[in-house]
Structure 1
Amino acid sequence: MRKERLETPGDPVKLWAILYEPALRYVVGDPDLMRAQYEEITRLSMFDHVTVQVLPQSVRGYLALGDFSVLGLGDTLPATVQVDNAGAGMSMTDKPRDVGRFTRMFEALSRSALPAESTPDFLQQLTREVLST
């Protein structure tokens, strides 16, 4: 259901995702499934309202210790942060100090990641690597 919201005509959800390279390299299923996943990420990254960046494993910049999302919920609700914890736990906060800290973390990750326009080429290279194994 979440993916469909990205494709809703007239009112799509905006998404900016930063994917860590090892997560993209972790093989789930067979090569055909991996290729399909890379192709779908590439397809979605072509939408004007979707930004996908890859954070290389060799990054020398900032690296987050866990998964988090900064949620802009429109003009009527405060920005909120969702933090995913080990063991399938999750916490959320809309405290301005916490939102500010995670927003700065996201900006640092974005600066360390490859530019969004490099994502399709990076995923194409991963596809070639997966198919050659």
Structure 2
Amino acid sequence: MARYTVPKFIEHKAKIVGPLTFGQFLYIGGAAVICFILYFTLPFFYFIMAALPIMLVGAGLAFGKIEGRSLPTILKNFIFYSFGPKIYLWKKKTGMPPKLKEEKEKPKTEESEKTPVPTAVGKSKLKDLSTYVETGNKIK
């Protein structure tokens, strides 16, 4: 039997723009475009005060990982959990499953009517056993 090597890191994303994936490029590029617009609209001191957090958020979204998950994935899960329902109820489906419907619809054959039904052979000791387990006293 032939042996084949299995690649280890299958789940990495392709690098599209230099060393960046497409998503990373969008986060960094989006932050850069916002900072570029702010450079021409705000005084220099206010531009610096606004550009630093914007670039940090862009870099965090592009490169940040917590326990192997990207920061946008964590933020998306947080938002869905925050606004989603918190109570999960089991809803019983009405109607019979298709397999049981087929079995009920089949007419009984003579063989199934002739098979003997097992009967109880004696007094069941289940109740005595449960009493013994609960109390520790053996019932005679």
TM-score normalised to structure 2 length: 0.22
Larger Rg: 2
Q: TM-score, normalised by structure 1?
A: 0.23
**Greater helix share, 1 or 2?**
2
* Larger RCO, structures 1/2 (Cα 8 Å, 6+ apart): 1
